[in-house]
Structure 1
Amino acid sequence: QVRLGRTLRDDLPLTAAAAAAGEIGVEHAHVLAALAPTSERRREALASPDVECDEAWLVRQAKLNTVDDLRTVVRHWAAAADTDADDRGYVQACERQHLQVSPTLGGYHVQGFLTVDVGQALVTALEAVTPVPAAGDTSTTDQRRAQAVGVLANLVLDKGLAGEGRASRPRLNVLVSYETLQAVTERAMARQDARTLPRLGSVLTAESVLHGPQFEDGTPIPRILLDRLACDGEFNRVIFGPQSEILDVGRAERTFTRARRNAIIARDRHCRFPGCTAPPTLSECHHVRHWARDHGSTSVSNGILLCWHHHGYVHARGIEIHRQGGRWVFTDAAGRELGDPCPDDEAG
């Protein structure tokens, strides 16, 4: 408030008078004070009688525009009034640019500052892949934007967009021992019967605690996320000896082969979740009958195309999918059908 008062007193007398008279709001005054008198040339332009867009013009804009719109107007004014200062500001912004992605309890904390061009590119890309909310989905815009960050990362990794000229294609690696995979399957089977729950002793063993499903950096993976990653992932068999020496490296096999994926794409054409039309490039194949829990086959008839957002949504909400005539039917945990029917296209 002291800084605002000094700026109004020294550089923006007309703005101060308009704010004192209640003709513009305090937030409007803050915008003008923060952006307008930030260089000598801009101060000259504010007070010059020979300039059309002087301080009086900016005050009129403040009376006519919202705070956000005024901020845009003043940014354009500042750029035109002193292009050199605008260039210096961009160079300084480049030096300040940073991004921190830090692991924390339950996830990652993101903090940073981006230049206008990087920010514009990121916002445009996020808007392009931000998932369409499902019927009854109460997630906020910020939550869907966070999911879109994962979609962008998946596009780069799964489509090999960053693999040119590299020795190996970058990918997200998950480490699961055979014993752990068996235990996960047994627990999933037990959960199908509400009366049969896994014994605590079978869950809290040294093997399950120290060698449970994890990313390469040791971060544990929730079972529901492991189920999703296993749906359309690529499996590599690596057998270790008692001293952790590698004894055998098996051939990578994709759960859904290229031919099967192409067949599913040709049939479904887009994400089949009710109301969603995300294209195949933003989607992956989901086992209708889960491969581990239900011993579902990896076949075209047991696969359905879901975008990354709704693939996770289906796993997280326990949504079941089945065919009814010529359409897919989605039901929630209570057995209620979700949204509008999803009839197959004529090609299906």
Structure 2
Amino acid sequence: MSKLTGLHEAISRLDEAWADAGDSNDLSRDQLIAVTNAIGVLQRRLDAVHVGVAAGIASESRTELGADSLAKQQGFRTPAKLIAAATGVSMGDAIRLIKVGEATAARTDLLGARLPAKYPLVSEALAAGTLSAQAAALIIAVLERCRIAAGPERTAEGERLLVDAAPGLALDEIRRLVVRVEAWLDPDGVEPREDEQRGKRSLTFFERGGRLHLNGNFDVETGAPIVAALRGYVSAAFAARKAAPDPDAPDADHRTVPMLQADALALFCAHVLGCKSEKLPLAGATVIVRMHLDDLESATGTATIDGIDQPISAAAARRMAADGGVIPCVLGGDSEILDWGRKKRFFTKAQRLALAERDGGCAMCNLPPEMVKAHHMRWWKRHHGRTDLSNGILLCESCHHRIHDNGWEIYIDGAGVNARVWFIPPTHVDPARTPRLGGRARFDIAA
């Protein structure tokens, strides 16, 4: 199928989804979903055409053409400026379109023989309408950064992993995948990059207009305790708000999340200065650093921090484990008893750590571990559910209510921390009820 044929089919699909509705206000719920999906397909199909055209414009505007450059003939200094002006995108977006087009276009050797695209799997995914230009740009950028260190075979495998995992994910979720794949492609580069990032850390403040302004920029190792503490305070504040007898009272806590985070920072600093408070309202927030036993023993490889996407080096993990308030979770060795049957109603701290390892936070929406709760899938009291890992799941309050109220089902495939969590949607969401992978496994990279 040619790119234009795919584009015409996507337009037809949008027409069918819209049906006889006059405008978007007339669409039914089913039509809203169908139209949204059709728009996504259409946008990706259009992206496939756009990147090819952008690469063509760049080729016809290369420097050696001089006055015959297509961009210059049209009154623009560069092809990116031409594309940005014609389509209304930013210069950065235009440059990315060109880079994606050049990396996914067929090539020729010195004798004129055709060669495959530099990244053929990305090219195929674009043409098939399963990958957007923005997602392709993220994938190509990380492959370009790592291709020398990783070598051709590992780079090709990284391309396959990303192209296979990207469909169905939002762009922010693809960014999470990209940082994990970069650590997998170039594990030896993680620590040097950390040294570079650590050298750029900063916290500045100044007074203006009667207010104090702070601007912080932290590397992951420095920032992890800050993130855990602020999120813990916010979680505790929301829990207290929920337990209030009259949450709508005039004197009730109506602070926004940014306000709560600002108040948390002030409270923490005041505690350090006075050191009089016996307990800070952090709702059990802890920095948890996870790494495999083999990596710990060999002092190589990488580790991850709960609630942080960027992997860290083994050296950084060892430094963090030596600090107070940080729990090192070593995988692959002996563990505590994680199944309690009916002997305990509430999940233990060891079980919560194991669930956090399996689910990575909210198993459905990926909210960080410190902002979720451990729930029984089969209720402990009403349905005599067991307090075991196989009957436990980490969910935020929103997803917990959505699952119970809207008829979602949960299935655990496997046992222990390596099990996979699947969510089965109700028929009104997906008539085929296709299971959706949740938990940490959705972002794990296994070559």
Shared fold, TM over 0.5: no
User: Normalized against structure 1, the TM-score is what?
Assistant: 0.40
User: Normalized against structure 2, the TM-score is what?
Assistant: 0.32
When Rg is computed on C-alpha atoms for both structures, the one with the higher figure is: 1
The structure in which a higher percent of residues are helix is: 2
